[in-house]
Amino acid sequence: MTADAPAPRSRRRLWIGLGALAVIAIAAAVIFVPQAVTRAAAEARYADALERQHELVERHAAASDELTALADPARAAVQVADAAGEAADALDAERVDAVAQAADPVRTALDGAPEDADAPAAAREQELDDVDELTEAAAALEDEAETLESDVAALEGAAEALESSAPALDDEIAALRETIPARADGIEEDNISAQARTRIEMHHAADLAATSEDDVAYYVEAYGEAARAVVASQESELAEKDQGDGLQDVRLEIEEFVRSIAGDARVDFDWSPLVNGLGEGESAGGYTTWWYSDGGYATMELSNSIARFWPDERFVGLVVHETGHAITSQCREMLDETFDGDVELMATAWAIGMGYDNPWGNGVDYYYDGVPPADDLVEASKACR
């Protein structure tokens, strides 16, 4: 009896097995492919966010540098405008108004500029494997970039506003500063009785306010203070001229006469009952001290009797003699070389050279027993004017 052959395997079962494997493989692919795509997208998003943050950090630094470069001189210019407002009474009124108007848009631009803050740092690239970590880091960088973009826009806007408004203010300040020396001259003319030192100091301050390249606001303010000191000195000096004897106007007339013949020398005046022990009755006393520095200036002391007897030619001659001392501040070389340092000889010769030949007052009688200086000295003195 023959054994039965084994029954063949079912082809159906075999195909079922192969089909199951295919389904498993397809399912695995479906799972793997979305994970790879998601990771690649997260990595790309993170890379883009990092690059954008770096770009904005660079723009922030550039915009901040530009704003600083514009804002520092703009603030200095606004300070000059403020100083000009404080010193307005010593400056050209129209130019001060023009500066004030030009300063308004600059102030607005500075007020709208972002406050100083620490510069942002470029983010460091991180080694991230997890998709969630990549996504979270990218989102943080995107938020930072949004803030940076807003900050950069503010910085660039403020810089643009300053760039358009600051030049006009600079121009107006320059125009104002050009007028300062002439304005100082006018203040001196209006306050000619002010003490010479205050007038000299005002002109020094005016020169600095007009020409200094640094600390301009400080020098403009200092000039204003110096100009106010001149006005105050004028008021004080005029009060001293009024001694209750009705001679104030005569004193001022005499002082103006001295200025008319004293050249560029600035002269202060002190009036007293006695000078050099003289001044009672028909006597008169005068005494002058001069300085060669700062263009030459002097202080002339006169007795009240000169004002009482003015314009008696004797007393006029004495005043001219004293003016000869005052103007010596302009002619030091002549005193030393032509007159061998003899101040009285030069003042006497100068008075005669000016046409005042009354020996009672011009120094001939008082110093030289009625003998006038030699004609060549009188002639030489005429070069000192």
* 149 and 276 share one domain: no
Stretch 119-146: mean pLDDT: 67
CA angle 327, 329, 330 (to 5 degrees): 75
* 285 and 333 share one domain: yes
* pLDDT tens-place string over residues 189-230: 999 999 999 999 999 999 999 999 999 999 999 999 999 999
Asked if the model's pLDDT at residue 61 lies above 90, the reply is no
Stretch 171-196: mean pLDDT: 98
Residue 1 placed within a domain: no
Name the residue with higher pLDDT: 383 or 137. Answer: 383
* 337 and 349 share one domain: yes
Name the residue with higher pLDDT: 253 or 143. Answer: 253
Predicted TM-score (pTM) of this structure: 0.79
* 282 and 258 share one domain: yes
For residue 317, the enclosing domain spans 244-385
Please give the backbone phi and psi of residue 268, each rounded to the nearest 5 degrees, phi first. -95, 160
Among all chains, which residue has been given the structure tokens 């643009």? 160
* pLDDT tens-place string over residues 242-301: 999 999 999 999 999 999 999 999 999 999 999 999 999 999 999 999 999 999 999 999
Enumerate long-range contacts of 280-289, CB under 8 Å, 24 or more apart: 280/305, 281/305, 282/309, 284/309, 284/314, 284/315, 284/318, 284/361, 286/318, 286/319, 286/321, 286/322, 287/322, 288/322, 288/323, 288/325, 288/326
| Exposure letters 224-247 (e unless 16+ CB within 10 A, then b) | bebbbbbbebbeebeeebeeeeeb
Q: Residue 314: CB partners within 8 Å, gap ≥ 6? A: 284, 358, 360, 361
Residue 5 placed within a domain: no
Asked if the model's pLDDT at residue 32 lies above 70, the reply is no
Residue 8 placed within a domain: no
* 187 and 167 share one domain: no
Asked if the model's pLDDT at residue 28 lies above 90, the reply is no
* 217 and 288 share one domain: no
How many domains does one find in the chain?
3
Asked if the model's pLDDT at residue 317 lies above 60, the reply is yes
Stretch 103-110: mean pLDDT: 94
Residue 118 placed within a domain: no
Work out the pLDDT band at 118, boundaries 50, 70, 90.
low
Residue 344 placed within a domain: yes
Among all chains, which residue has been given the structure tokens 């075999």? 14
For residues 196 and 55, give the distance between their C-alpha atoms in angstroms, rounded to a whole number.
64
Average pLDDT taken over every residue of the chain? 87
Stretch 123-129: mean pLDDT: 67
Amino acid, res. 285: G
* 307 and 377 share one domain: yes
Other Cβ atoms less than 10 A from the Cβ of 58: the count is 12
Q: What is the pLDDT of residue 141?
A: 65
Residue 6 placed within a domain: no
* 272 and 336 share one domain: yes
What is the token pair recorded at 51? 């690059």
Name the residue with higher pLDDT: 15 or 135. Answer: 135
* 26 and 174 share one domain: yes
Q: What is the pLDDT of residue 113?
A: 77
* 187 and 170 share one domain: no
Work out the pLDDT band at 46, boundaries 50, 70, 90.
low
Residue 12 placed within a domain: no
* 95 and 146 share one domain: yes
Residue 4 placed within a domain: no
What is the token pair recorded at 240? 């001293």
What percent of the chain clears pLDDT 90, i.e. is strictly above it?
68
Considering just the CA atoms, what is the radius of gyration of the chain in Å?
46
* 357 and 275 share one domain: yes
Q: What is the pLDDT of residue 24?
A: 46
